[in-house]
Amino acid sequence: MSQETEKPLQRAVVVAHPNLPEAAVEAGKVATYLTQNGVQAASGLLYDEALHCRVKDGEFDFLVALGGDGTMLRAGHLCGPLKLPILGVNLGRFGFLMEIQQNQWQDFMPRLLKGNYWLEKRMMLTALQWRAGEKLGSWDVLNEVVVSRGQFIRPVHLTAHVDGRFLTTYVADALIVATPTGSTAYAMAVGGPILSPELRNIILAPVAPHLSFDRTVVLAESARVDISVRADHHAVFSADGQVPVGLSDDDRVEIEASKHSVQFIRFQDPGYFYRNLTPHMNRNPAASTHR
């Protein structure tokens, strides 16, 4: 985790979550500010494929993401493999991954343009789906991979191997494979450990195991996890909360550390994670909206 002054950034892309009406307006304001201060800036919506192509073509030095934690996950999928730093501006409810609030960006942009920031590197995972020896797809993951039962309220049998060695067969609603970033998401909700974001470990956490191994396991970064599905009904897996992918009986999901890392732009000192942990734990805005 570097705390040194980084290089000034000169080419920016500002992306907004499409379901937050104020995000696009705010993104335009950020882009205008950057342009007026000597930075080449473009703005658009998070899922704009034309903008994605420009990012992948290397047109930008950094990305500013306006939205919530989900926006940061999607931005991480795009920017991690490109080593493109991300600055998060929180317009969402929780903002665990975000660096600054909506009303703060004008205070922090001068520091960014002077190189007065540091880059926090966070581990990613790669997930592969296999069926009868054929690879059906691959996914970059920042939070977690979840292999779970589908629409039927019955547990699935999930056989886990680590580095080719049998670990156990879970009879459970789901099995979570998470990064340290994901340790404060779904894995935490099922009693998993909270890992500092600079660690590089893999968390294996069952969800509602029935008469089977019920402890969370923390694995080394070098570990490879293979999960085979046994179910006479619907099973699925999802990477970072994206649209679930259907699994057939005997499908295998292979997960290991990615060669890529996501880089978050930070202004706070590295102790921010511990300082913010208790306030975040005691305040779940999703709950307060349904009283």
* 291 — pLDDT class (breaks 50, 70, 90): very low
Q: Is-catalytic flag, 140?
A: no
273 and 251 co-located in one domain: no
154 and 182 co-located in one domain: yes
Q: Specify if 223 maps to a domain.
A: yes
User: What are phi and psi for residue 91, nearest 5 degrees?
Assistant: -120, 5
Give the whole-angstrom CA distance, residue 125 versus residue 130.
16
* 279 — pLDDT class (breaks 50, 70, 90): confident
196 and 227 co-located in one domain: yes
Q: Specify if 276 maps to a domain.
A: yes
271 and 254 co-located in one domain: no
Q: What pLDDT sits at residue 6?
A: 65
Q: Specify if 5 maps to a domain.
A: no
From residue 3, alpha-carbon distances to 120, 137, 278 in Å are: 9, 37, 23
Q: What pLDDT sits at residue 197?
A: 93
Which residue type occupies 201?
A: N
pTM of the model: 0.91
Q: Judge contact between 121 and 219, C-beta under 8 A.
A: no
Range of the domain at 147: 124-259
Number of domains making up the chain: 2
Question: Which member of 69, 140, 226, 251 is catalytic?
Answer: 69
What tens digit of pLDDT does each residue of 157-208 get? Answer: 999 999 999 999 999 999 999 999 999 999 999 999 999 999 999 999 999 9
182 and 248 co-located in one domain: yes
* 1 — pLDDT class (breaks 50, 70, 90): very low
